[in-house]
Amino acid sequence: MRWIAQTYAFSCILLFSVAFSQYGDLKLKEDYDVFTQQLISNYKPCTLSTENDHTVFGDGMAYVLDGYLSMYESTNDKDYLYKFMMQSLCMMENRHDFSGISNEPRWGNLTYEEGNINGAFAKFVHFVKVKNKDLDTLKMYSFPAISNNSFNATFNTFGDYANWLSLRVNEALSWFIANGYWNNQLGFLDKPNTTSSLIVNKHIGFARAVLFMGLCGNSEYEAKSKRIESLFFKDVEFYDRHKLKRYKAPLFIKNDKGAYWWYHFGWTDVRKKRKIRFKWSKGSSSIQKYTSFIEDISHGGIVALYPLDQWLNNTTTTFDEQEISGFHKTFTQNIYDGKGGFYNAVNGADNPISDNYCTTCPHNYHAMKSLIYAPYSAFDGVLESDSIYPILMDYYQNSIDSCSGLPLGYCCGMNYGHAELVKRQWSIEQFNLSLYNRVLVYNQDFLVKGMLTIEPESTNSTSFAEPKTEDKTFLISSGIKSDIKASSIHIKPGTQFKSGSLVHIETVIPEE
């Protein structure tokens, strides 16, 4: 396919008919903005009490922040970076050493939630300083919510903020390590100086934090990242109380289809010699009974993020294509039921699973949580496995697309998965995009492969970009540059280009 560019004056309404792909008209990006705004309204990161924030931040906002970075990668809309900064600043204000609760650089008493928060912050540092170096020196717009911060910090570039956030992450990691939350054999611990590691899905936040900070040049964290990575390849040692015999087995069990599955608590006893105190079935003697619960697909998706982070960002990782293929197949071969639905556990069963120790969950109970596997759709067609993308898009079309408000069960990692699904749609589809009421005060481009509609007076019009506006206008301010490119462009009433704005509108028509 080649592209033919044609340039027109910005006052024209440009209409071209283009054949769209199967999922090109699904408004994934617009839905993401609506749903995320509703999540932020529920989470209230800038007004939430310091006494009630740790779970909201650790199990909620951390994944929203992850999603913002994915959305920037898809759209190049810098508003997602500003949102990340504004909301992470609010979150940091609630950290106990800054809010006055204590001198501890944490938000609560659940270690894994601290890891999730710091993992998201560390990802931003790596995103700006390593992955997108052009952002390091890119001058920022001085939004009051950023410039008038309670830390009296000055941020002129995105790199300035990444540097500042790097110091905050280092404060937290250093504190946890110095206070007994790290063991060279077991990795991060749930409680100081205990003999039990954080279980594998709860390990991922801190694992990502030391990975990204290590990739930014911190040798101590790089070494700890390598240690955690090595644990993924160690055998789990467990004790069969029926046979009174000790066994070793891989943490990740591969079935005859090449798909991984694993036990929820297996990680806690990596390379340890102690009896596991779990419920055992009467007469149990099977090696599969060393723990009671199979990982559910929600926690399984969290676990699968870490190998992918390693594979995509770390050139020295020991994860290879075979491991990535195993996690890809976990979804396509185990979780997907082949009929539009999903099994609740990573081994293709509905129970027993770990979520609330549920043993009677109905089929498709965790369906919404399937979105978290969207990042693995980037390997569709590369690995010898079915494709994740059409499975998730069909599910989205049938179960989410018609939702007028926040879908039931949409939170946490689902929000990040939604952003990754947008990224996949924008990379392979001739997608459509609608822009509503917005005031552009910094340079911003819009590139759409399909139809772009600017419709500020739409009844569905909602502004999701800073600065927020209730006016039914799409306004590009004086002195602001904007390139608007699409195969079909519709500019509707309410669109204003101020005198002195530098707007370039171009139709880009695909040819077979």
Angle at 197 between CA 194 and CA 199, to 5 degrees: 140
Instruction: Report d(CA 489, CA 436) in Å as an integer.
Output: 14
- pLDDT (tens digit per residue) in 450-490: 999 999 999 777 889 999 999 999 999 999 999 999 999 99
Nearest by Cα to 86 from 97, 96, 78 = 78
Q: Which residues pair with 188 in a beta bridge?
A: 182
Best-predicted range by mean pLDDT among 165-179, 236-250, 256-270?
165-179
Residue 68 has which token pair? 């913002």
Residue 323: C-alpha distances to residues 260, 318, 404 (Å): 9, 9, 39
Render 145-163 in DSSP notation, one character per residue: HHHT-TT----SBHHHHHH
Instruction: Report d(CA 287, CA 128) in Å as an integer.
Output: 46
Instruction: Report d(CA 306, CA 318) in Å as an integer.
Output: 12
* pLDDT range class, residue 382, cuts 50, 70, 90: confident
Name the residue ranges covered by the structural domains of the chain: 27-222, 232-429, 435-511
- pLDDT (tens digit per residue) in 182-229: 999 889 999 999 877 898 999 999 999 999 999 999 999 999 999 999
Residue with tokens 């204003």: 496
- pTM value > 0.75: yes
- pLDDT (tens digit per residue) in 74-109: 999 999 999 999 999 999 999 999 999 999 999 999
Longest dimension (CA), the chain: 82
* pLDDT range class, residue 251, cuts 50, 70, 90: confident
State the DSSP code for 127: I
Helices (H), 19-139: 28-43, 54-56, 62-75, 79-93, 96-99, 111-126
Strand order in the sheet with 474-476: 438-440, 474-476, 495-497
Residue 272: CB atoms within 10 A of its CB come to: 15
Angle at 376 between CA 158 and CA 230, to 5 degrees: 85
